[in-house]
């Protein structure tokens, strides 16, 4: 079973954390959001995966634009 958990841990650690951020915003568990994305992907033949990638891209851009600077001299 260790060979199965290593890749899962790798992708969870280095992923985009899209599901976790959505779950934090909605106040639910991340497992529910991940499961919803999986069902959406299978039910719509890939739309859930495309939506996930779009949200990952959007959150990354938002993080780059809205970074908090500690002082005025960080420009």
How do residues 24-72 score in pLDDT, each as one tens digit?
999 999 889 888 988 988 899 888 888 988 998 998 888 878 776 666 6
Q: How far apart are CA 47 and CA 71, in angstroms?
A: 42
Write down how long the chain is.
Answer: 75
Q: Can you give the pLDDT at residue 72?
A: 65
Contact 23, 29 (CB under 8 A): yes
Quick check: pTM over 0.85? no
Q: Would you give the DSSP letter of residue 44?
A: T
Residues 6+ apart with CB under 8 A from 32: 23
Q: Can you give the pLDDT at residue 24?
A: 92
């Amino acid at each position: 079973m260790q060979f199965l958990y290593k890749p899962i841990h790798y992708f969870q650690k280095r992923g985009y954390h899209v599901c976790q951020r959505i779950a934090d915003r909605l106040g639910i568990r991340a497992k529910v959001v991940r499961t919803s994305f999986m069902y959406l992907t299978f039910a719509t033949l890939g739309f859930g995966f495309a939506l996930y990638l779009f949200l990952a891209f959007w959150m990354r851009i938002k993080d780059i634009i809205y970074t908090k600077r500690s002082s005025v001299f960080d420009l």
